[in-house]
Chains A and B, each alone.
Chain A
Amino acid sequence: QQKVQQSPESLSVPEGGMASLNCTSSDRNFQYFWWYRQHSGEGPKALMSIFSDGDKKEGRFTAHLNKASLHVSLHIRDSQPSDSALYFCAAYTGNYKYVFGAGTRLKVIA
């Protein structure tokens, strides 16, 4: 059973649009999250972390965490074709380990 659920499984947005990806944890002990992005044929690359309630902004990317609802989201504004990739949410479980969600496949249509 996945301890981190991601939605939607896939998402298409027009170039310049906003993409919103969601992640829900089933374990209240998960308090620290990373978002990763994986382009085809490559390994995942870390995008940004979040561990405080509220928003964290890095350029076009904004992560949001709501610890009460165990919900994390990633919003990409002004989406570019190069943002097309598989996005993973990862929750820190302790002992230097993370549990990953199944991923959301984003396609940005030019």
Chain B
Amino acid sequence: GGIITQTPKFLIGQEGQKLTLKCQQNFNHDTMYWYRQDSGKGLRLIYYSITENDLQKGDLSEGYDASREKKSSFSLTVTSAQKNEMAVFLCASSTAIANSDYTFGSGTRLLVI
């Protein structure tokens, strides 16, 4: 079986800092996603990549950059961390078949002080 790994698991940053989160998958999935999870708001899409050289904005892309370095890896950058921000960032991957389910990583928990 495959695995999707997010690093780091916990991230404490300072206001204004640029922070990078990484995601690796070995399912050979074409499509990868970054979601933000806030309590009571569900999962909101930040960026996604349908194939290796593709990058598309989600509903919450402002304040973030993303990079699909290769088929197996997808990174997310918080361009300027906001004070008191606290959220879980979830990476997911999927086959390039419409209606396929996602496989999620266990998340990176961010706290900005």
Binding site for B on A (CB under 8 A): 2, 4, 6, 9, 32, 34, 36, 41-46, 49, 51, 88, 92, 94-103
CB neighbours of B99 from chain A (8 A): 32, 49, 51, 92
Q: Is the CB of B104 within 8 A of A44?
A: yes
Asked if B41 lies at the interface with its beta carbon under 8 angstroms from chain A, I say: yes
CB neighbours of B24 from chain A (8 A): none
CB neighbours of B21 from chain A (8 A): none
Q: Is the CB of A43 within 8 A of B106?
A: yes
Q: List 21 A-B contacts (CB under 8 A).
A: A36-B102, A41-B106, A42-B107, A43-B4, A43-B106, A44-B43, A44-B102, A51-B99, A88-B42, A88-B43, A92-B98, A94-B98, A96-B31, A96-B48, A96-B50, A96-B96, A97-B45, A99-B45, A100-B35, A100-B42, A102-B40
CB neighbours of A6 from chain B (8 A): 42
Given contacts A46-B102, A98-B102, 13 further A-B contacts (CB under 8 A): A4-B42, A36-B102, A42-B106, A43-B4, A43-B90, A88-B42, A88-B43, A92-B99, A97-B45, A100-B43, A101-B42, A102-B40, A102-B41
- Which of B4, B105, B107 gathers the greatest number of chain A CB atoms within 10 Å? B107
CB neighbours of B43 from chain A (8 A): 44, 88, 100
Interface size class of B (residues with CB under 8 A): 20 to 34
Binding site for A on B (CB under 8 A): 4, 31, 35, 40-45, 48, 50, 58, 90, 92, 94, 96, 98-99, 101-107
Q: Is the CB of A2 within 8 A of B42?
A: yes
Q: Is the CB of A103 within 8 A of B104?
A: no
Q: A96 and B41 in contact (CB under 8 A), knowing A43-B106, A43-B107?
A: no
CB neighbours of B35 from chain A (8 A): 100
**Which listed residue (B58, B101, B104) contacts A43, Cβ 8 A?**
B104
Q: CA–CA, A95 to B10, complex, Å?
A: 31
- Which of B4, B43, B50 gathers the greatest number of chain A CB atoms within 10 Å? B43
Q: Is the CB of A96 within 8 A of B98?
A: yes
